[in-house]
Amino acid sequence: MIQTAFAESYPSRRNRLARQMQHTAKSSVRLQKDTSNLFRDRLDEAGEALSVRDFNHLLEIDTAERTLVSEGMNPYGELVDASLEYGFMPLVVPQLKTITIGGAIAGIGIESTSFRYGLPHETVLEMEVLLADGSVVSCTPDNEHADLYYGLPNSYGTLGYVLKLKTPALPVKPFVRLDHTLYQDAQEFFDAIAALQHSDIDFLDGSVYGPNEHYITTGRFVDTAPFTSDYTYLNIYYKSVRARETDYLTVKDYIWRWDTDWFWCSKNLYVQNGLMRRVVGKKRLNSQTYTRVMRWNSKWGATRFLNRIGGFHCESVIQDIDIPIQHAAEFLAFLLNEIGVLPIWICPIGTGENASRFPLFSMHPNATYINFGFWDAVKSRTKHPVGYLNRKIEKKTAELGGIKSLYSDAYYEENEFWQIYRSNEYWALKDRYDPNGKFLNLYEKSVLRK
């Protein structure tokens, strides 16, 4: 086992933070850190800020037991660098470098290993959580805090903060061979994904560029590569999916293949042009830069202003939706016909046997879901009610037995929300772990944007 040492030990920093939490007044506490991938603007930044910037270390790696112990606010970018040094990666690494391991549990993550290992929260072995009263509890699937172990995923910091967690580690090889296969028919595409789920590949995701253009990308670890491509500067990964059948990347470049261009969303910042990429520079071509620009834009309303003078009404449609695979073709047709956002990222999820035990993100156990990721602003000359398209998506998701991530806008009525995200279990957890309401509740945070 390798343990990493720091100027101030984890227990010392944890105890200091716990004391700070004990002395916070009964108000809405919020996390203070350098990055965030939350895509809904808070209406009110009030509340006491708890600085957790220094909970960003990999504490242990056990190469024999194949486990990692990381601090909760460790961004995957750093966690991956540290674990690759020992020939391992976390089982599921979300695509954006600044997503933290605790954030992916509290706010749901996913990636191309999810077809085999499920969502990141399903892989957690043990976690230490800071509660509203300043105490710290350890939760496992079967100890006295098992309710919090299952309740924390999708709780968005409304039950406590994950400070430390133990997860399995996946041994890697130096390279990944990618194969991109085109399917014209949507049903054949989803059938092929289902068939691949039990094959010997290591990675599986897909992308849809149009009604007759669905690509499956499989990845396999390999020891050697005849060549390697580079999508960290002038070449753009998502364009390569349509342009080549086979490709090779280093394992690190594979893990971050979507980060350089934020999937394809960098197009909104005009940096998919070669000249612009040179001007911006390799170092700044990443999701962190784009998030900063989008936040600035959201604050100052530059795009809103341009749309207004152009006579457009614009709705932000930034969602990740999980749909049982048997309804995936129907959901895709709905997205193409009624929403119109392209491309769409597709990622299969093979849920584990405990998937229905997570009350705030309950899925059928041992089932296959398809994650649809679509992120854009839809322009129209017609003025619709606020959240018009997002409401349609919420209704269709419910109709097809799916579930939606809450990192972006949600428009649910309160009753409807609590039916999906299970009010009984949630309020029982709130009573036990935050009886004085020091944290906001999930509806306030994710729909009312408090």
Ligand X SMILES: Cc1cc2nc3c(=O)[nH]c(=O)nc-3n(C[C@H](O)[C@H](O)[C@H](O)COP(=O)(O)OP(=O)(O)OC[C@H]3O[C@@H](n4cnc5c(N)ncnc54)[C@H](O)[C@@H]3O)c2cc1C
Is residue 109 at the binding interface for ligand X, with CB under 6 A as the rule? yes
Task: Tell me the window of 91-99, 193-201, 227-235, 392-400 that interacts with ligand X (CB under 6 A).
Answer: 91-99
Is the Cβ–Cβ distance between 98 and 291 less than 8 Å? yes
Is residue 110 at the binding interface for ligand X, with CB under 6 A as the rule? yes
Is residue 37 at the binding interface for ligand X, with CB under 6 A as the rule? yes
Q: Which residues make Cβ contacts (< 8 Å) with residue 278, sequence separation at least 6?
A: 234
Comparing CB distances to ligand X, the nearer of 53 and 198 is 53
In terms of Cα–Cα distance, which of 440, 444, 443, 448 is closest to 160? 440
Task: Report in angstroms how near the CB of residue 188 gets to ligand X at its nearest.
Answer: 25
Is the Cβ–Cβ distance between 69 and 60 less than 8 Å? yes
CA atoms within 13 A on the CB side of 351: 21
Among 29, 58, 136, 162, binds ligand X (CB under 6 A): 162
Among 69, 271, 317, 318, binds ligand X (CB under 6 A): 318
Is residue 99 at the binding interface for ligand X, with CB under 6 A as the rule? yes
Tokens, residue 358:
């997570």
Among 29, 77, 82, 94, binds ligand X (CB under 6 A): 94
Task: Tell me the window of 106-114, 186-194, 299-307, 354-362 that interacts with ligand X (CB under 6 A).
Answer: 106-114
CA atoms within 13 A on the CB side of 386: 4
In terms of Cα–Cα distance, which of 342, 403, 393 is closest to 369? 403
Size of the site for ligand X (CB under 6 A): 29
Comparing CB distances to ligand X, the nearer of 98 and 207 is 98
Is residue 103 at the binding interface for ligand X, with CB under 6 A as the rule? yes
Task: Tell me the window of 6-14, 56-64, 105-113, 243-251 that interacts with ligand X (CB under 6 A).
Answer: 105-113
What is the spatial distance between Cα 64 and Cα 45, in angstroms, rounded to a whole number? 45
Enumerate residues 45-74 that contact ligand X by CB under 6 A: 72-73
Task: Tell me the window of 98-106, 212-220, 232-240, 267-275 that interacts with ligand X (CB under 6 A).
Answer: 98-106
What is the spatial distance between Cα 386 and Cα 392, in angstroms, rounded to a whole number? 12
Enumerate residues 195-224 that contact ligand X by CB under 6 A: none
Q: What is the DSSP string of 78-135?
A: HHHHHHHTTTEEESS--SSTT-BHHHHHHTT---TTHHHH-SGGGG--EEEEE-TTS-
Q: Cβ atoms within 10 A of the Cβ of 247, count?
A: 23
Comparing CB distances to ligand X, the nearer of 161 and 278 is 161
- Burial profile 178-190: b = 16 or more Cβ within 10 angstroms, e = fewer: bebeebeebeebb
Strands 58-62 and 2-3: antiparallel
What is the spatial distance between Cα 426 and Cα 413, in angstroms, rounded to a whole number? 17
Task: Tell me the window of 33-41, 176-184, 216-224, 381-389 that interacts with ligand X (CB under 6 A).
Answer: 33-41
Is residue 290 at the binding interface for ligand X, with CB under 6 A as the rule? no
Q: Find the DSSP H helices in 93-236.
A: 101-106, 114-117, 146-151, 186-196
Is residue 39 at the binding interface for ligand X, with CB under 6 A as the rule? yes
Comparing CB distances to ligand X, the nearer of 167 and 408 is 408
Is the Cβ–Cβ distance between 161 and 72 less than 8 Å? yes
Comparing CB distances to ligand X, the nearer of 330 and 344 is 344
Per-residue binding string, ligand X, 349-388, x by CB under 6 A, is: --------------------------x-------------
What is the spatial distance between Cα 45 and Cα 440, in angstroms, rounded to a whole number? 12
The C-alpha angle with vertex 104 and arms to 9 and 93, in degrees rounded to 5, equals 90
In terms of Cα–Cα distance, which of 317, 420, 440 is closest to 377? 317
Comparing CB distances to ligand X, the nearer of 216 and 347 is 347
Among 77, 107, 153, 348, binds ligand X (CB under 6 A): 107
Comparing CB distances to ligand X, the nearer of 10 and 407 is 407
Task: Tell me the window of 92-100, 174-182, 224-232, 394-402 that interacts with ligand X (CB under 6 A).
Answer: 92-100
Is residue 156 at the binding interface for ligand X, with CB under 6 A as the rule? yes
Is residue 106 at the binding interface for ligand X, with CB under 6 A as the rule? yes
In terms of Cα–Cα distance, which of 96, 325, 85, 79 is closest to 189? 325
Comparing CB distances to ligand X, the nearer of 98 and 351 is 98
Task: Report in angstroms how near the CB of residue 117 gets to ligand X at its nearest.
Answer: 13
Is residue 157 at the binding interface for ligand X, with CB under 6 A as the rule? yes
Among 28, 70, 100, 123, binds ligand X (CB under 6 A): 100
Is residue 439 at the binding interface for ligand X, with CB under 6 A as the rule? no
Comparing CB distances to ligand X, the nearer of 108 and 332 is 108
Which residue ranges make up the site for ligand X (CB under 6 A)?
A: 31, 35-39, 72-73, 94-96, 98-100, 102-104, 106-107, 109-110, 156-157, 161-162, 318, 375, 407-408
